[in-house]
Structure 1
Amino acid sequence: MKSIIKNIYIALGCVLVFGACKDLDVSPTDRLPRSIFWKSEADADFALTGLYNFLYMPGGNWACSQYNIYAWDTYTDDAYGQHDYGGGRSAGSSGLTPNTKAYVESYYTNNYKAIAAANHFLANVEKVISGDKLKIYKAEAYFLRAFNYFWLAQLYGNVPIVKDDPFTIDYTTVLGKSTREQVLAFVKEDLDLAIAGLPDVGYSNGHAVKGTAQGYKVRVLLFEKKFAEAAALAKEIIDGQKFSLNDNYAANFYKPGQNSSREIMFSVKYLLPNVPHQDAPLAATTFAWGGYLGTQDLLNEYEANDPRKTMTWFSDGDTKAEGWPFTGDMSVATPGKGGWLQGYHMPKKWLTPGIENPSSGTLDDNDFVLLRFADVKLMYAEAQNEAVGADASVYQQVDEVRDRPGVNMPGLPAGLSQAQMRERIRKERRVEFALEGLRYFDLRRWGIATQKLNGFVTNPLAPNIKLKYEDKYQYWPIPQTEIDRNAPALKQNPDY
């Protein structure tokens, strides 16, 4: 598509410049330093870093990068985004249109920029490296291309597949859409190439490993309802013993615990002082400004004495002893004061212990965790239950997530039917992954998003304010700017 090909010039700029690419003015093709790049092994290192830099792309509105994952929860019955970070509040009130901004636009445009850069990388990296290093570098690029295409498939469904180096494509070329099934098949092809080439080790430094690609393939297979295949691959990850549940559940979400957690399988890495969060610190947007407030409906899902509730949410009356970060006249957590709106709940997850009075000047660098081993275990349980029913292995994986040290929740009751186990797994996912951005995709994957979200009252104190969700949102609208640039080949998704 014209805009995708055009965006390679910015995409390559991100590859060639250290750090996240934030200024997206398009540069003319005759000013890019292609003639002096791809000349040395260092160029391959530099370019690979650039591919990961697309994980830092902006999310389309202030104070929310694209992979600020818990902004996704504001699209659901789990959270309310009073400042509309990521666009969840406006999507829930006004619905989705081809002119909607924030995530509705950013995921389409940014993912294609990342794909274009990956295509360019794969077309040229063999010029400067070889052997095992080449195998690993190409595998990382295959994974990142698949990662971006999977987002497009989940959100927009039928999208163009572009495989060629954009510098070899006619700038005036327009492309039509492939089916979602074709896109997912391509995603799995790339993930298989990634699995074959990535090192079979734990995740540590931000670079994808074999288990990362396997975990994302499990997600794809579950999305496709290929339950037996998803269960088999998830079991392979579990049996490989490269990952494990963190004995400290909360430490998965803040530094320094994230640095040593064997549960994290993929994340967006930050590191002070050079790589802080974009626009505004998480501590300010989340805790001082109340950007992501939990719903009572979600809080009702926690079982009695589930410590994940107090590790994820503050309670009325909490003080410094419970981790409340404010002092002075805000030293006691009180609904209705500061950014805490009455009728909602203030989050605790993602808050680094010890931070006091967070503001726009606070610097923080907690990584955005995109895949955890707990997810693999619960995906196994879901897939296996759908494939064969609630056998002993399903119980084992769910119970191990519930019974990790520090959580110590009792095992599920014996004798659950397949339908009963399905509901227990769904409930477990909701509380285990609260504020981790999975709920929206779970509801859509399960086919119950309209049932759960349309007409949902986010705040019991405002019963007349309800969410809007329509069946057609299973396929998001393609941004109108892309339709206009690529007419007549690119058609809008149905009913928009």
Structure 2
Amino acid sequence: MENKIMKIKLIISIFLIAGFCFSSCSDILDKSPDGRIDLEQIFKDNDRVAALLNQCYSFLPNKSINYTGWSNYPTVCSDEAWGYVGDEYLAGYYGNTVTSTNHPFINSYGSQAESNMIDYWRRYFSQIRICTQFINGIDNATVDEPRNRKRWKAEAYVLRAYYLSELVKWYGSIPLNNMELYELTHDYSTAVRNSVWEVAEAIEADCRAAINGASDIEFPYRNRFVPTQTSGTTGEELRVNKAVAWTLMAKMYLFAASDLYNKGVPEDVRRERWKKAYEINKEAVSALEANDFKLFTEHTIDAYNDFGKAAAFYQINASYDAPTVDKETIWQNNRRSPSSWSLNSIPGLPGTSMYVAFWPSQELVDAFEVVEYDPAGNITKAVPLLNLRDPYLDGETGHLNPNLNPEAISLGYKETDPYEVKRDPRLYATILRNGDKISWNSTNDITVESYVGGEHSIVFVSGNAKNSKTGYYSRKFWRPGVSDNNRMSDPAWKYFRLAEVKLNLAEAAIEYAIAKGGDLNLQKEGAAQIDDIRKRVGMPSLPTAVVADKDEMRLRLRNERRIEFAFEEHRFFDVRRWTDADGDLSATDKFMSAMEITESGGTYKYKRVHVNKKENGPTRAGGWQNKYLLLPIDREDVIRMRNATGVEWQNPGWN
């Protein structure tokens, strides 16, 4: 096999490595070989070996608002937000006209600068192959520093696992044949798409090889770097580590045990899968916490004081801190745009002409709990606003008639003045509503006027790219004090943070309890992880009666994920993996509502309407049908593999 590897010619472009991978690199991530070089030459030279590892990092997705139109496609293609439909690809998604060759997640970019955000199927398999070449060749390669050999190999293992995980998230079951380096003449007639569970096992094997193959000194749990508050970065924060390995394999077992990937699997097998997901997520949380990862609970920046109980939650998302301060972030990108999130928040900011790329939905606002404070300023009670089992009474035809929780009404919530009652503090750190204030230019507060005719008025004209279509704007990731003259760079995008791993464990514990027909100890364990997340913002623990009800625990866990990870590219995948393979997303993504506010003499009237005031039929014609559970596979590869195997390779519903 090794002789075959050495015969394979590899073209490594300086532009590909330096341009696509890092805006600023350090140490190992700053090497690149020249021209056309074969693998044998590469593995004989330390710098070229380093450059090949650098190539393994190419095409890590930038995420954030680096999709077309300064938008975040997983956010606007979920029930979290409405996006600007002047974007032709998004308009096609909403209009149900996208195809396997014309899809926003596949070919929305025409510029090379962002081409690592498209064509995931080919690019990630290409990266898997490069990682495999590196893994197979590094043991006998020329490496100047002995400990680098172990670290570099561990990094390649984790990167290969990451690309596998991304393919699963987007496409479902995938072939694992790229874990072997076949010649071009290889017979693919027996190739198959391996189950998601089998891919999770392959990911675990790679991650454990990385964890066990090097000491904590050779392959650390945490990267050390000094952050800059400009768009420049050190490059070191992008390197994978042992914490990434633990997080990745645990997360993918959670996915692999979920409904979408288990059609026809017997109940006893499902139960064992949830047991495995629970055990490995528990192992991951223990390993991370034992190595000083912890939730960020005390804010350190005075500019965030106004967020009160949510100040630390806000800082972990909006700031960019050294790992000695931020011990929650596990892995983050090193790409930082200048004020993109801030300038995309509300229209009409002085000195700017940026349009707003997405607007939070009323459904997301409804997810935040109603709370009650005591005289000392502590939250003593918190209840969901809606009946989580059946949130909208008109759910089959729209989302205009909320099924209000009687307990929320007893705490003072009323539809005639929905903003009067206090809500989960994370609401104010995530979404801008009419009357909220934002800090602009350090000295000025701007009051949001999203009422009809206000400075930031809701509009119902599809061509308007600035004003909200929902009556809301995003606040999360906003840098207080930013302005046209002080364009602070956005925070680095966090691929993983400890809060996710803890909620992954909570979900696995709850689902394992459900699979067993109920297990109070597991339910309590899941509740403890959820309570840790809630405690950060002063929210009370889940009530004992809720913890004792396994089905209610599932609902509360899912709502907690929705709140904690808003706009962080979780909801898009969560609602899919929670759906049966034969189901669809009509309950969540078919309708989207807005809050139309009218003002007269200082008095406001509130009315729920569908986005664009659409009165008949779905708000979105597309994006919720069964085929949207997974992306279409590259058309050329589908034809090639269909011809080779005689089996249909395309995902359901796509041609």
Aligned-pair distance for 1:118?
Answer: 1.5
For residue 277 of structure 2, what is the aligned residue in structure 1? 230
TM-score for both structures, normalised by structure 2: 0.63
Q: Does 1:245 align with 2:274?
A: no
Change (3 A) 1:267 1:83: farther
Give deviations 1:193-239, integer Å, cap 9, x for gaps: 23323635235532222221111112111112222222222222333
TM-score for both structures, normalised by structure 1: 0.82
More helix by share: 1
* Rg (Cα) greater in structure: 2
Query: Which residue, 464, 467, 470 being the options, matches 1:340?
Result: 467
For residue 495 of structure 2, what is the aligned residue in structure 1? 370
CA RMSD of aligned residues (A): 3.5
Q: Following superposition of structure 1 onto structure 2, how do residues 15-414 of structure 1 map, counting pairs within 5 Å?
A: 17-20=17-20, 32-34=36-38, 37-56=42-61, 62-63=68-69, 70-82=72-84, 90-94=92-96, 96-105=98-107, 106=118, 107-126=120-139, 127-129=141-143, 131-163=146-178, 169-170=183-184, 176-181=191-196, 182-197=198-213, 199=219, 201-204=221-224, 205-225=237-257, 226-240=273-287, 241=289, 242=291, 243-247=293-297, 248-257=312-321, 260-270=325-335, 276-277=336-337, 281-285=340-344, 288-304=354-370, 305-319=423-437, 322-323=438-439, 331-335=446-450, 336-337=456-457, 339-357=466-484, 362=487, 364-388=489-513, 389-391=519-521, 392-404=524-536, 407-414=537-544
Change (3 A) 1:325 1:289: farther
- Cα distance in 1 for partners of 2:94, 2:533 equals 31
Contact residue 61 and residue 86 of structure 1 kept, 8 A: no
Give deviations 1:357-405, integer Å, cap 9, x for gaps: 49xx95624211111111111111111112234533222111110001x
Contact residue 76 and residue 83 of structure 2 kept, 8 A: yes
For residue 494 of structure 1, what is the aligned residue in structure 2? 652
Aligned AA (2:48): D
Aligned-pair distance for 1:284?
Answer: 3.8
Aligned-pair distance for 1:353?
Answer: 2.3
For residue 26 of structure 1, what is the aligned residue in structure 2? none
For residue 111 of structure 2, what is the aligned residue in structure 1? none
Change (3 A) 1:84 1:251: farther
- Cα distance in 1 for partners of 2:256, 2:103 equals 28
Contact residue 200 and residue 253 of structure 2 kept, 8 A: no
Q: Secondary structure at the match of 1:80?
A: strand
Query: Which residue, 535, 543, 551 being the options, matches 1:419?
Result: 551
Change (3 A) 1:223 1:135: same
Q: Secondary structure at the match of 2:504?
A: helix
Aligned-pair distance for 1:292?
Answer: 2.4
Aligned AA (1:470): Q
Q: Which sections of structure 1, spanning at least 5 residues, go unmatched?
A: 23-29, 271-275
Aligned AA (1:307): P
Give deviations 1:120-174, integer Å, cap 9, x for gaps: 32233331237542222112111111111112122212333343676x6327976
Indicate the percent of aligned positions where both proteins have the same amino acid: 23
- Cα distance in 2 for partners of 1:327, 1:486 equals 61
Contact residue 230 and residue 383 of structure 1 kept, 8 A: yes
Change (3 A) 1:264 1:341: same
Contact residue 57 and residue 110 of structure 1 kept, 8 A: no
Contact residue 11 and residue 37 of structure 2 kept, 8 A: no
Contact residue 250 and residue 284 of structure 2 kept, 8 A: no
The count of residues paired between Structure 1 and Structure 2 equals 465
Contact residue 48 and residue 137 of structure 1 kept, 8 A: yes
More strand by share: 2
- Cα distance in 1 for partners of 2:10, 2:587 equals 39
Q: Secondary structure at the match of 1:415?
A: helix
Aligned-pair distance for 1:96?
Answer: 4.8
- Cα distance in 2 for partners of 1:32, 1:12 equals 7
Q: Which sections of structure 2, spanning at least 5 residues, go unmatched?
A: 23-33, 108-117, 225-236, 258-272, 298-311, 347-353, 371-422, 451-455, 458-464, 514-518, 595-608
For residue 273 of structure 1, what is the aligned residue in structure 2? none
Aligned-pair distance for 1:88?
Answer: 5.2
- Cα distance in 2 for partners of 1:60, 1:353 equals 21
Q: Following superposition of structure 1 onto structure 2, how do residues 443-454 of structure 1 map, counting pairs within 5 Å?
A: 443-447=575-579, 450-454=585-589
